[in-house]
Amino acid sequence: MEFDSPEEKEFPGLYAAEAADSKSKKSKEESDFDEDHEHNKMDLLIGKRKDKKDKGKDRGYAALEGESSPEEELETKSPSKSKKSKTFKFVSSKSKEKREKSRDKEKSVEEPAHKAKDADKDKDKERERHEEKELKKKDKKKDKKDKKSKQLSQQQDEDAEEEDLAMGYPVFGVSVSLATERSRCHDGTDLPMVVRDCIDYLQEQTRNFLIYKVEPLRTELLHLKRLYNHREHNAAMALFTVPLACSLLKLFLRDLPEPMLTTDLMYDFEDVARNRRGKEQRIGLQQLMEQVPKCNRTLVGWVMLHLYAVTDQERYNKLNHESIAVLLSPTLQMSVPLMVALLRHCRTIFADIQLIQYVPPLTASSQLPEDPEDIQMELRKQDSLLTQIHSEMNAGFITKNREEQLWEVQRIITQLKRKLRSFEKKQEKSIEELDVSANQPAPAAPVAVPVGEDTTDASQPTAAPTSEVTITEEHKPGRRASSSSPVTHSIDVSDCIQVHRNEEEEPSSPSPPLYTIDGESGFVLLPESNPHREELLRLQIEYDELVALQNELKARIKTERNEVYRLNRLCEQQLLKHQAAAGSQPPKEAEYERIIEHYKRENALLEHKKQMLGKELKEERRACISLQVELRLQQF
């Protein structure tokens, strides 16, 4: 147990506390962490261990190579190379192996668990799981041994360093906000990763009879804690069992320096729970909950909603509000009545919170998404991850693994951006074709587009709601311009994805109901494409399969271009006249001209190279839309 002992030393207090808590249940296991116990177990499972030994060795070798990235080299290592010296290896590289192994294991662990619908079955499953657990433990030990014998002594230093760093920035035992900051969920939920993982796992297990009843082995629990402190989330989650997940969640909550409801508000909460009833109580709790810091509120919400879900399966797990409150109120540092009250009202109080299964950011080995929207969502996650890595490294949390991860995440982001860009280019290409055809009849058309610029910023927001009918018709030209621009835009995709998307949706939303109107103004029936804006993008990707549709659209856009040109000329003529009348058009003529010129230049470039437009993407799109809106307004 060399592995676990340092942890113990680090947190002697925790240990004692935990022991006291669970004494009633599994006092025997409490003391498991000492060497004797481990040895016993090892003896029991010695056969299995041997099976795993060879495998473990290979992996151990691979993980040691310092110069190449771990992901690429796992199976490359030549044994002779890695057998250089003996070393004690800490979690880092071990966990990598585990992560791999555990993938398979996870399956085997989870599948049975899912199936289990009643207590009896669960017990069997649990036995299985225990076996697996122990197996895993053996693996760990094997790995450890392998590593010991093979690692470079250099590694030892690095690992020790890593250990220190992890201890300097733990996730356990710090405030909720710090823990959240240090181990983010990259999908935007302000919850520490460990809580999210536990709840995600346990939400699938709410019918498991063991839930919140059985204590796991302390050594395993502490190992998980260590993994989380090292940010080895995947490795940790792969080891989850119901008792482990329950206890890990409890351990995290117990380690919080102050109650999740905050020390300041604790008395008020208790007071409300004790002295008020029904609706009054709910409102009281709700009001107090608003005063709790946001990340605490999220945490309380998730925990309570999860526990509520557990009690919802009382039929299977025999836990109702009262009994689970008795079990957990000491951990949550609140009274049983308060906890029951929170459980009773949690669905109203936390109506805004939904327990969504976490989908972590992709890793290098995974398939990157194809759909542009998925790409953008993934980009956001990766960016969040990258930011966290940078901030950790800037805080001094620098390890070899971290650096590897940094490069990898950066690479994924680059790949995603490139994907997005090539997608946009494809899209642009097809538009370019359209433009070519459109420009022939109306060579000045590109100029017309920029004219709108002046009105854009000021009038667009106001104009849109007031003149819905016209907007729809006018959108088309604007959209044309917008679709060509994304190409260059992609540089800062990650930053403005959201904006970008919103803008794209903006025009399409008002248009659907207004299609029929188009006919009267002589516009081609482009609206058909409007409701299918997104689809259109996709269609372009699948260009080959949908050539027919594209041709149809081309024809329509051509006509549209002509119309734009006509309208623009009209606009230029009428602009001065109407400017006074239409209060919503603040732009000055000088500004107009400046912008027009600017855009003329841009459009000249666009004719040769659409990409140059990208940087003006947002402005131009808005400009086009609002210009068209204005023109229509003036006409009517």
Determine, following the binding rule CB under 8 A, whether residue 364 of this chain makes contact with another protein.
yes
Among 76, 108, 275, 573, binds another protein (CB under 8 A): 76
Q: Which residue has the tokens 């044994």?
A: 79
x-or-dash pattern for another protein, window 168-207, by CB under 8 A? ----------------------------------------
Closer by beta carbon to another protein, 24 or else 394? 394
Determine, following the binding rule CB under 8 A, whether residue 411 of this chain makes contact with another protein.
yes
Residue 142 has which token pair?
Answer: 């094997």
Closer by beta carbon to another protein, 38 or else 97? 97
Among 83, 96, 282, 561, binds another protein (CB under 8 A): 96
Determine, following the binding rule CB under 8 A, whether residue 394 of this chain makes contact with another protein.
yes
Taking the complex as a whole, the smallest distance from the CB of residue 223 to another protein amounts, in Å, to: 19
On whether the CB atoms of residues 23 and 44 are closer than 8 A, the answer is no
Count of residues making up the chain: 636
Span near another protein by CB under 8 A; candidates 96-104, 204-212, 250-258, 329-337 = 96-104
Among 203, 320, 410, 521, binds another protein (CB under 8 A): 410
Closer by beta carbon to another protein, 55 or else 532? 55
Span near another protein by CB under 8 A; candidates 67-75, 160-168, 340-348, 542-550 = 67-75
One-letter amino acid for residue 566 of the chain: R
Restricting to residues 467-496, name those near another protein by CB under 8 A: 488, 491
Q: Name the residue among 606, 133, 608 with its Cα closest to residue 624.
A: 606
Residue 231 has which token pair?
Answer: 């940010």
Closer by beta carbon to another protein, 76 or else 275? 76
Taking the complex as a whole, the smallest distance from the CB of residue 227 to another protein amounts, in Å, to: 13
CA-to-CA dists, residue 115 to 1, 125, 135, 184, 206, angstroms: 34, 9, 22, 31, 12
Q: Give CA–CA dist 28/393, Å, rounded.
A: 41
Taking the complex as a whole, the smallest distance from the CB of residue 92 to another protein amounts, in Å, to: 10
Residue 88 has which token pair?
Answer: 């004690």
What are phi and psi for residue 605, nearest 5 degrees?
Answer: -65, -40
Helices (H), 76-217: 79-82, 91-115, 119-150, 153-168, 176-182, 193-203
The size of the interface with another protein (CB under 8 A), counted in residues, is: 48
Determine, following the binding rule CB under 8 A, whether residue 401 of this chain makes contact with another protein.
yes
One-letter amino acid for residue 515 of the chain: Y
Restricting to residues 128-157, name those near another protein by CB under 8 A: 152-154, 157
Q: Tell me how many degrees the CA angle 72-77-79 measures, rounded to the nearest 5.
A: 165
Span near another protein by CB under 8 A; candidates 164-172, 404-412, 451-459, 537-545 = 404-412
Among 248, 612, 629, 631, binds another protein (CB under 8 A): 612
Residue 90 has which token pair?
Answer: 């800490």
One-letter amino acid for residue 593 of the chain: E
Contact partners, residue 122, CB within 8 Å, separation at least 6: 113, 116, 208, 209, 210
Q: Which H or E run contains 589? A: helix 589-608
Taking the complex as a whole, the smallest distance from the CB of residue 492 to another protein amounts, in Å, to: 8
Q: Give CA–CA dist 383/362, Å, rounded.
A: 11
Closer by beta carbon to another protein, 19 or else 407? 407
Determine, following the binding rule CB under 8 A, whether residue 67 of this chain makes contact with another protein.
yes
Q: Name the residue among 341, 326, 131 with its Cα closest to residue 217.
A: 131
Taking the complex as a whole, the smallest distance from the CB of residue 391 to another protein amounts, in Å, to: 10
Q: Applying CB under 8 A, which residues contact another protein?
A: 62, 67-76, 84, 96, 99-100, 103, 152-154, 157, 234, 363-366, 389-390, 393-394, 398, 401, 403-408, 410-411, 413-414, 417, 488, 491, 609, 611-612, 614
